[in-house]
Copies of this chain bind each other. A is one copy, B any other.
Amino acid sequence: MKRKLAFMSALAGGLLVAGNGWAQEAAEEAGEVITAEYVQFMVNNIWILIAAALVFVMHLGFAMIESGLERSKNTVNILFKNGCIVAIGLLTYAAFGFNLMYPGDEWIAGNVFGFAGFGLSPGEDGQTMAYADGAYTYFTDFIFQGMFAATAATIVSGAVAGRIKLGSFLIFSTLFVGIVYPIIGSWKWGGGWLDQMGFYDFAGSTLVHGVGGFAALAGAIVLGPRLGKYIEGNIRPIVGHSMPLAALGMFLLWFGWFGFNGGSVLSADPDAVSFVFTTTALAAASGLLVAAGVSALVSKKPDLSMALNGALAGLVGITAGADVVSLLGAIIAGGVAGAIVVFAVIGFDKVKIDDPVGAISVHGVCGIWGTVAVGIFGGSEYSVGVQLLGALVAGATAFVLAFILFTILKVTLGIRVEEEVEYKGLDLVEHGQEAYGGFQVFSTE
């Protein structure tokens, strides 16, 4: 009991920050002259905050594309999961995730695991003027990184849709987003061992998308495919219930990605942010068109789901090197990702790994590609070998830890709903709600 109290107290201590006495106000009251450097800090800071809001939109994008690409009978369940993940992600990140990811000097096991304590610690006197890179406040740092954290678990959500037990998924998500994600993230962004060996991952092709994508793979394997997906050696396509929702999701993700990548500059540096916006947009454009084209060649029809996933693949593919590749490199990196995603989706189906939304292909496979692409298009200071190594180790770690978590849940609480529940849909049985209960079509043409 005492330990629990200590934890609560540390947590509360870290969270008991009063919001008064702002710097700007204080400086002006003191009659101090506003300097250009202070205003530069303001610009940097407000941009990262806006970028954080844009990354938040990505969670909406994921909720829309995932529910759009699954059947209507599991829609409430998907929306519920995605809402909870954002909330869980932010709260666990505040409670311990942020300090696991950025341990500062508090490394415990080599440069592999560190922890700077529970709660948030914005500095003395309740002031929040702690800088990171001399550019933005502690809370800006927290909220921007916190918005990233939940992303990794959301990626998993898509791959396990339609058959996972709600409770088990929420427990997995809490542990994954609260502990696994930040520890792997600390290896690079926290200054850990991957960072020290020269590994580069600008905004998270590996650390966010690869980590999420390979955990998704673990989930899909442990769960097995949805009922009726693979019958007697045949692949039976299970189509989504709303392509407008899926398209809405893709566009919102692309929109949010301007914050995901643009904010990862960690300042409002004009050259850097505008360059990152350009590479990001060109890679997405290239990924969309190549995936659309390749899918038209492969399946004779231009497939909208593939085009949407192609844009996301292009975005994942540019994320590791958005600031260092050339424009042509960005277009190629995005285009290759668009091609990869088509074949990866087909390939996973062939080996009967059922991923309702293509999350493993988009985020896992293209996450590796994007990381390696830095070595190819980013100039001589980046090594293809180191990039590949980092991507594989991070991906493998995420896979193994997620596999262990899912397996423990499987043998304890169970992770898969019963056949009847899956047949009727998770909405009715798990939530007692239908997504479209009050929907009535009067006339059809």
User: Is the pair B143, A243 in contact by a Cβ cutoff of 8 Å?
Assistant: no
User: Is the pair A288, B328 in contact by a Cβ cutoff of 8 Å?
Assistant: no
By the criterion of a CB under 8 Å from any partner CB, how many residues of chain A are at the interface? 146
A137 touching B271 in the complex, CB below 8 Å, given contacts A84-B292, A326-B17 = yes
Partner-binding segment picked from A37-45, A180-188, A392-400: A37-45
A325 on interface, CB distance cutoff 8 Å: yes
A401 on interface, CB distance cutoff 8 Å: no
A15 touching B331 in the complex, CB below 8 Å, given contacts A67-B244, A271-B23 = yes
The 8 A CB mask of A394-421 against B (1 = contact, 0 = none) is: 0000000000000000000000000000
Task: Give the residue name and chain of the B residue nearest to A48 (CB).
Answer: B274
A250 on interface, CB distance cutoff 8 Å: yes
Q: Which of A1-51 contact B (CB under 8 A)?
A: 11-12, 14-20, 22-25, 33-43, 45-47, 49-50
User: Is the pair A301, B269 in contact by a Cβ cutoff of 8 Å?
Assistant: no
What separation, in Å, do the CA atoms of A301 and B97 have in the docked complex?
29
What separation, in Å, do the CA atoms of A59 and B433 have in the docked complex?
26
User: Is the pair B19, A80 in contact by a Cβ cutoff of 8 Å?
Assistant: no
* Cβ contact of A72, chosen from B76, B326, B440, cutoff 8 A: B440
Residues of B within 8 A of A301 (CB): 430-433
Residues of B within 8 A of A254 (CB): 56
A242 on interface, CB distance cutoff 8 Å: yes
Q: Which of A266-324 contact B (CB under 8 A)?
A: 267-279, 281-282, 284-286, 288-289, 292, 299-305, 307-308, 311, 322-324
* Cβ contact of A57, chosen from B255, B284, B430, cutoff 8 A: B255
A383 on interface, CB distance cutoff 8 Å: no
Q: How far is the CB of A95 from chain B (nearest CB, A)?
A: 9
Partner-binding segment picked from A85-93, A107-115, A152-160, A211-219: A85-93
Residues of B within 8 A of A222 (CB): none
Partner-binding segment picked from A233-241, A347-355, A359-367: A233-241
A277 touching B430 in the complex, CB below 8 Å, given contacts A34-B37, A245-B244 = no
Task: Give the residue name and chain of the B residue nearest to A52 (CB).
Answer: B277
User: Is the pair B270, A23 in contact by a Cβ cutoff of 8 Å?
Assistant: yes
User: Is the pair A255, B53 in contact by a Cβ cutoff of 8 Å?
Assistant: yes
What separation, in Å, do the CA atoms of A9 and B262 have in the docked complex?
29
Task: Give the residue name and chain of the B residue nearest to A129 (CB).
Answer: B271
* Cβ contact of A323, chosen from B14, B15, B19, B430, cutoff 8 A: B19
A342 on interface, CB distance cutoff 8 Å: no
Residues of B within 8 A of A430 (CB): 301-302
* Cβ contact of A49, chosen from B37, B71, B262, B311, cutoff 8 A: B262
What separation, in Å, do the CA atoms of A91 and B73 have in the docked complex?
39
What separation, in Å, do the CA atoms of A269 and B63 have in the docked complex?
32
A166 on interface, CB distance cutoff 8 Å: yes
What separation, in Å, do the CA atoms of A439 and B299 have in the docked complex?
23
Task: Give the residue name and chain of the B residue nearest to A23 (CB).
Answer: B271
A87 touching B46 in the complex, CB below 8 Å, given contacts A36-B36, A56-B255, A434-B442 = no
Residues of B within 8 A of A278 (CB): 139, 142-143
Q: How far is the CB of A259 from chain B (nearest CB, A)?
A: 8
The 8 A CB mask of A225-264 against B (1 = contact, 0 = none) is: 0000000000000111111110110111011001100100
Q: How far is the CB of A144 from chain B (nearest CB, A)?
A: 9
What separation, in Å, do the CA atoms of A19 and B322 have in the docked complex?
8
User: Is the pair B24, A271 in contact by a Cβ cutoff of 8 Å?
Assistant: yes
A-B contact pairs, 20 of them (CB 8 A): A15-B327, A19-B272, A19-B322, A19-B326, A24-B270, A43-B43, A45-B270, A53-B259, A60-B252, A64-B248, A79-B304, A82-B247, A86-B288, A143-B274, A143-B278, A166-B302, A238-B438, A241-B439, A243-B434, A303-B432
19 further A-B pairs in the complex, CB-CB below 8 A; given A19-B275, A239-B437: A15-B331, A16-B327, A19-B323, A23-B270, A46-B273, A53-B54, A75-B243, A76-B243, A80-B302, A83-B250, A83-B307, A91-B286, A91-B331, A142-B278, A143-B281, A146-B281, A242-B436, A242-B438, A299-B432
